[in-house]
Amino acid sequence: MTKKAKLTNICPVFLSDDVKRTTEYYVHELGFKYAAHFDKEDNFATIYRDSIEIVIVQKKKGTIASNTKRYGNGFDAYIDADSLKGIDHLYDECLKRNVRIVKSPGMTDYGSYEFVIEDIDGRNIGFGLIANKDIYFENSNLLEQ
């Protein structure tokens, strides 16, 4: 029997017009910590909050645009909270820090409780959690052996 590697995390890469500015936004507005590499050839920083890790890289060409602006749909990242109450606490934290809210907390038709912010670069970041597993997994193969 072939062994499979276990995946443990995903680390999205966000391109930025100004890595320092984007990093400062996530640190001051969303409570992240950082490891800066502004003096490196690729000019980047990695930001951390709890088990979340995001790399912010200085773009070299092109225009930064959210999935919604570019394609008409889709978050640019989706971050799970530890609990439904955790989503409300994070929402309150965002309100206090004047983070731009795109969608207030609520239930979706696919069974998640979530809200959406727009970050300093125009990305739409969803924060949520599956609240109704029967709805969310009704068309799933996760139970197959």
- pLDDT category of residue 2 using cuts at 50, 70 and 90: confident
**What pLDDT shows up at residue 128?**
97
Based on the domain organization, do 52 and 101 belong to the same domain? no
Q: Which domain holds residue 56?
A: 10-61
What percent of the chain clears pLDDT 90, i.e. is strictly above it? 86
49 exposure class (CB count in 10 Å sphere: 0-12, 13-18, 19+): middle
Q: Is the pLDDT of residue 97 over 80?
A: yes
CATH at residue 22: 3.10.180.10
Q: Is the pLDDT of residue 144 over 80?
A: no
Number of domains present in the structure of the chain: 2
- pLDDT category of residue 103 using cuts at 50, 70 and 90: very high
Based on the domain organization, do 97 and 129 belong to the same domain? yes
First and final C-alpha spacing in the chain: 15
**What pLDDT shows up at residue 64?**
93
Cβ atoms of 56 and 17 within 8 Å: the answer is no
Q: Is the pLDDT of residue 67 over 90?
A: yes
- pLDDT category of residue 33 using cuts at 50, 70 and 90: very high
Based on the domain organization, do 52 and 90 belong to the same domain? no
Cβ atoms of 47 and 53 within 8 Å: the answer is yes
Strand order in the sheet with 77-80: 77-80, 124-130, 112-118, 100-107
